[in-house]
Amino acid sequence: MSITARKERQKEELKGKILQAAKALFMEKGFEETSIRNIAEKIEYSPTTIYLYFKDKDDIFHALHTEGFVLLNQYFRPLAHVSDPFERLKAVMKAYINFAKENGEFYDLMFIINSPMKSVEKEAGEWEEGKRAFEFLIGTVGECIQRGYFHGMDAEVVAFTLWSMVHGICSLEIRNRCSVVSALNQEDLANKATGVIQEILERMHSKPQ
Amino acid sequence: MSITARKERQKEELKGKILQAAKALFMEKGFEETSIRNIAEKIEYSPTTIYLYFKDKDDIFHALHTEGFVLLNQYFRPLAHVSDPFERLKAVMKAYINFAKENGEFYDLMFIINSPMKSVEKEAGEWEEGKRAFEFLIGTVGECIQRGYFHGMDAEVVAFTLWSMVHGICSLEIRNRCSVVSALNQEDLANKATGVIQEILERMHSKPQ
DNA sequence: TAATTAACTTAACACCGTTAATTAACATAT
DNA sequence: ATATGTTAATTAACGGTGTTAAGTTAATTA
């Protein structure tokens, strides 16, 4: 009895160690530069052992992908207590951008890199943490609409649009498209763009209050 | 005399053939799936020959990268004749989105994939076609500001922000982040988001006319 | 005609993700 | 207590990648 339990525990432990090693390498070198052989070396197992715990490389990074969404939701959680929905909305967008800045490689994996989506699309049904994040945004937008913001628009569509806006800034910065286009410091430009979006948002209430 | 000219011409010809083969493979299979060995096979040369014409794989895709910007500028060129700057601005954004839709792999290379930027950043000075595209946008925004749109804002910053917005939509669609987040058809969602942005733009003139 | 240069190829290096076959350790049943 | 079966991990290998060094062949110059 307890002996199979111990084995189970040990298997889970090693699976955790693989993930932990993958995460460390991934965070310091990025997705492309992290190989299964690297991960294996780090945990002092043979590369093929990893295939006993994960189907393939995508599978590993799919696990990190959902881990990233857990982290993003941690950025969002405190904002649930902001009662004014428009203030909350602005705070969510700021938090999203901060998340991107502070977790560049995770952001890349979650919103840019192709690899993890193959697994996500297969799962279809489940995708809890990702949907939680987006639904928090939709909910907030919905409340804003009730208060006269984004008049006549659909909450889901507006939420997606706002997400697109901040994602545009974050992904252009992460993939280095800012510096080549402007004399401005890359981070500066992104900050100012964020300012413009805030400015735009302010003008989005048709019937104030 | 003419003999060296012919050789020069032939060298240039083969360089062109490499690029052409790379482009064909790239457009049907994408960046990751196009190998130097593939390209070599297509033009019936040994893989190493390619290195006599291009420094490395990045160098090839850097060439395609600028080719993509030439194409983008062709989407923009007709719009130079739209006299009203705000109408022109909206048309530019539409054209950009059309470009992305009709040239997905090129878009990926130009605005998402890391590889070509290594070369772009080294060139530093030159990057003509890319800057032409962006400066067309800045110019249009500048004229809009003169007519009372985006009051008190900086043209370059606004241009970058608008670019971010449409890039957000395009890149989320290309990298398949729409379908997982909404029951809506992916293209539908992107179209509706574009509509919201148009709507937002309409509200951006402080002193109309 | 001999020496040099240019264009190209073959062979090889060091990696990659992944699969098949194999060993070693352990648990169970006789 | 011995034989059997199962599990975890390994080694070896396949077919691929980008890239470099060394070698070949043909054309051009001296």
Residue in chain B lying closest to A131 (CA): B181
User: Which residue is nearest to the C1' sugar atom of D11, using CA?
Assistant: A46
Q: Which of A130, A196, A204 sits opposite B180 (nearest CB)?
A: A130
pLDDT digits (tens, 9 = 90+) for B151-184: 889 999 999 999 999 999 999 999 999 888 888 8
Does the CB of B27 have a partner CB in chain A at under 8 Å? no
Judge whether residue A139 has pLDDT over 50. Answer: yes
Residue in chain A lying closest to B198 (CA): A161
B189 interaction partners in chain A (CB closer than 8 Å): 157, 160
Q: What number of other Cβ atoms are within 10 A of residue B124's Cβ?
A: 9
* pLDDT at B89 (0 to 100): 97
> Which residues have C-beta within 8 Å of that of residue B58, sequence separation ≥ 6?
B115, B116, B118, B119
Judge whether residue B5 has pLDDT over 90. Answer: no
B-interface mutation test, from A145, A177, A184, most B Cβ less than 10 A away: A177
Q: Is the CB of B143 under 7 A from strand D?
A: no
Q: Is the CB of A46 under 7 A from strand D?
A: yes
Helix (H) or strand (E) holding B76: helix B57-76
Judge whether residue B8 has pLDDT over 50. Answer: yes
Q: What is the mean pLDDT of residues A16-26?
A: 98
Judge whether residue A1 has pLDDT over 50. Answer: no
Nearest to A34 by CA among A105, A101, A122, A99: A105
- Please state, rounded to an integer, the average pLDDT across all residues of chain B: 92
Judge whether residue B208 has pLDDT over 60. Answer: no
All domains of chain B, ordered by start, with CATH?
1-54 (1.10.10.60), 55-202 (1.10.357.10)
Burial of A137 (0-12, 13-18, 19+ CB in 10 A): buried
Distances (CA, A) of B135 to A137, A163, A194, B83, B109: 34, 26, 20, 17, 20
Helix axes B115-123, B104-111, angle to 10 degrees: 50
Q: What number of other Cβ atoms are within 10 A of residue A193's Cβ?
A: 27
**DSSP β-bridge partners for residue A205:** A149
- Please state the three-class secondary structure of chain A as a single string: CHHHHHHHHHHHHHHHHHHHHHHHHHHHHCCCCCCHHHHHHHHCCCHHHHHHCCCCHHHHHHHHHHHHHHHHHHHHHHHHHCCCHHHHHHHHHHHHHHHHHHCHHHHHHHHCCCHHHHHHHHHCCCCHHHHHHHHHHHHHHHHHHHCCECCCCCHHHHHHHHHHHHHHHHHHHHCCCCCCCCCCCHHHHHHHHHHHHHHHHHCCECCCC
Q: Is the CB of A9 under 7 A from strand D?
A: no
- A contact residues 130-159, partner B, Cβ 8 Å cutoff: 130-131, 134, 153-154, 156-158
Greater model confidence, A171 or A6: A171
